[in-house]
A and B are shown apart, each in its own frame.
Chain A
Amino acid sequence: MKFFTEFGRYILMLKGMISKPENRKVYWKEFMHQCNDIGIGSLGIVVIISVFIGAVSTLQTAYQMVSPVIPKATIAQIVRDTVLLEFAPTLVCIVLAGVVGSKIASELGNMRVSEQIDALEIMGINTKTYLIMPKILAALLVIPMLVAISATLGIWGGRVAGEAAGILSTTDFDKGLLSAFLPYNVFFAMVKAYVFSFIISSVPAFYGYHVEGGALEIGRASTKSVVVSCVLILFADYVLAALLL
């Protein structure tokens, strides 16, 4: 029963945020601010994770490919598809659910508890439109970009690690990278990125916006939002794979 109540409130929140902005300039400024916070703010961790994930993928794939008849370039093919199909969109988005999601939930929760949201309401501002919509739109714009960067860096990390460990040369890697490439995989990765971006931004916004109580409840909302976002990402990952692959 509680699930349906919360789901209903979530849908009402999404419906409530669709309204005409009071002032386009202020909303644009807020949107750019959120793009910077979500995009630039998460870039460091995305770069680190992606490079190492790509590197480890190459090493582990090489470790498992014991047959001498399989050409070394196949390692690059496997790394490319693994990074594109799963690591870049899913793993990065799960990390972003923690980094971005907890930030969104605690920011909105703090604004609710310290009556800043009430102050905006009294000024005649639609707080759902002003506070939540720019976050969701910013996430929809920058998270797919981060996923694209992640995929590129993951493959690059695998290439560098392959050569550094003496597993395969960069020439072999590049050869494998270009063979049997399916552009549909990029499309699939982007579909996942958009769906996950929506989850990462809207679920924490819901929990943060509806916080009641004090500092303890903000912490709880933040944790709950990360857990729910991660579960939803994994569930959506499965559904999308079943539907689109």
Chain B
Amino acid sequence: MIEVKNIRKGFGDKIVIDDVSAVMEAGKCNLIIGSSGSGKTVFMKCLVGLFKPDSGHIIYHGDDFTAMDDKQRKEIRKEIGMLFQGSALFDSLTVEQNVMFPLDMFTDWTLAEKKQRVNEVLKRVELVDTNKKFPSEISGGMKKRVGIARAIVLNPKYLFCDEPNSGLDPQTSLVIDKLIKELTLEFNITTVINTHDMNSVMEIGDKIMYMYKGKKEWEGTNKEIIFSKNQRLNEFIFASEFLRDAKDMRMLEQAGKIDENRNMDDMIK
């Protein structure tokens, strides 16, 4: 579990994160949503220690990450896996070497043991026959899977995903979402995901935090989000008229007032 208490972060005069508190629970997909520039990436970078908050506390399972020295922070980071927006795979290494990298660095296993573990995680993310390929030779979806495999190879307690679906088609996005969800449940990981993708929100959002201009605007689950009364959140979710109409229909359907003869032409004006 990660507890965030009143963190603030600014660059110069600009406050990017303003007094945000949250609890990220273990075994759940904790989503941070918000429009571009809302501060969610900076918030995540504060969580993983790439940025130092100006004030506030980030507590990893009872240990205050913000008060730790570099050595203690390094230890916590060994329990963190992160999937980056662009996958951040090392260009000069093959898929196998990329996934093996954390094992090379932090374990004294034999090569055979490391290879076995790499094959296990690659199989888990459904990647076969790609071990010897370079990142430039595989698709965007496969790169994300390699990124996930690298992130989970050391059995992390915390998994951070920065826009895991960016640049992927809807079907591949769904596969990645399901994979993250399964891994979260399987290993009881505290997963934190930054996303714009409403499909992800509805599919895997056990806990959702909506950020607006650096502040936490709303918090809830995927079941609550579409019925939220928060106007800014509604503007963000139902940005298109199509989605607004879909929501209205869903409400009517729930109230038993729906016209059974409706068709898509009525929705798409």
The yes or no verdict on A and B being binding partners is yes
Q: Enumerate chain A interface residues (CB-CB to B < 8 A).
A: 22-23, 25-26, 110, 114-116, 118-119, 121-125
Chain A, residue nearest B85 (CB): A115
- Report A47 CB to chain B, min CB distance, Å: 26
Q: Which A-B residue pairs are the 3 nearest by beta carbons?
A: A124-B77, A115-B88, A119-B88
B106 at the interface (CB under 8 A from A): yes
- Report A150 CB to chain B, min CB distance, Å: 28
**Chain A residues in 8 Å Cβ range of B90:** 116
Interface residues of B in 67-121 (CB under 8 A from A): 73-78, 80, 82, 84-86, 88-91, 101-102, 104-106
User: Can you list 25 pairs linking A and B with CB atoms under 8 Å apart?
Assistant: A22-B105, A23-B104, A23-B105, A23-B106, A25-B104, A26-B105, A114-B88, A115-B84, A115-B86, A115-B88, A116-B89, A116-B91, A118-B50, A118-B84, A119-B84, A121-B50, A122-B48, A122-B49, A122-B50, A122-B82, A124-B74, A124-B75, A124-B76, A124-B78, A124-B106
Residue from B50, B84, B105, B106 with most neighbouring chain A CB atoms (10 Å):
B105
Complexed CA–CA distance, A122 and B156 (Å): 12
How many residue pairs link A and B with beta carbons under 8 A? The number is: 50
A119 near B82: Cβ-Cβ < 8 Å: yes
> Total interface residues on B, using CB and 8 Å?
24
Which of these, B77, B86, B160, contacts A123 with CB under 8 Å?
Answer: B77
- Report B42 CB to chain A, min CB distance, Å: 13
- Report A188 CB to chain B, min CB distance, Å: 37
- Report A204 CB to chain B, min CB distance, Å: 17
Complexed CA–CA distance, A110 and B88 (Å): 10
Complexed CA–CA distance, A21 and B150 (Å): 21
Complexed CA–CA distance, A28 and B236 (Å): 51
Complexed CA–CA distance, A180 and B50 (Å): 60
Chain B, residue nearest A124 (CB): B77
A110 near B91: Cβ-Cβ < 8 Å: yes
A123 near B102: Cβ-Cβ < 8 Å: yes
Q: A110-B91, A115-B86 are in contact. Are A122 and B104 (CB under 8 A)?
A: no
**Chain B residues in 8 Å Cβ range of A25:** 104
**Chain A residues in 8 Å Cβ range of B73:** 124
Interface residues of B in 16-64 (CB under 8 A from A): 48-50
Complexed CA–CA distance, A115 and B82 (Å): 11
**Chain A residues in 8 Å Cβ range of B82:** 119, 122
**Chain A residues in 8 Å Cβ range of B105:** 22-23, 26, 123, 125
Residue from A22, A114, A116, A123 with most neighbouring chain B CB atoms (10 Å):
A123
Complexed CA–CA distance, A122 and B147 (Å): 13
Complexed CA–CA distance, A23 and B105 (Å): 5
- Report B88 CB to chain A, min CB distance, Å: 4
- Report A100 CB to chain B, min CB distance, Å: 16
Complexed CA–CA distance, A125 and B102 (Å): 10
Which of these, B48, B49, B106, contacts A22 with CB under 8 Å?
Answer: B106
Complexed CA–CA distance, A118 and B88 (Å): 8
Complexed CA–CA distance, A192 and B88 (Å): 38
**Chain A residues in 8 Å Cβ range of B76:** 124
**Chain A residues in 8 Å Cβ range of B88:** 114-116, 118-119
Chain A, residue nearest B82 (CB): A122
B86 near A122: Cβ-Cβ < 8 Å: no
Beyond the given A118-B84, A122-B160, A124-B73, could you list 20 further A-B residue pairs with CB under 8 A, ordered by the A residue number?
Answer: A23-B104, A23-B105, A26-B104, A26-B105, A110-B91, A114-B86, A114-B91, A115-B84, A115-B85, A115-B86, A116-B89, A116-B90, A116-B91, A121-B50, A121-B77, A122-B48, A122-B50, A123-B78, A123-B102, A124-B77
Complexed CA–CA distance, A93 and B196 (Å): 50
Complexed CA–CA distance, A119 and B106 (Å): 15
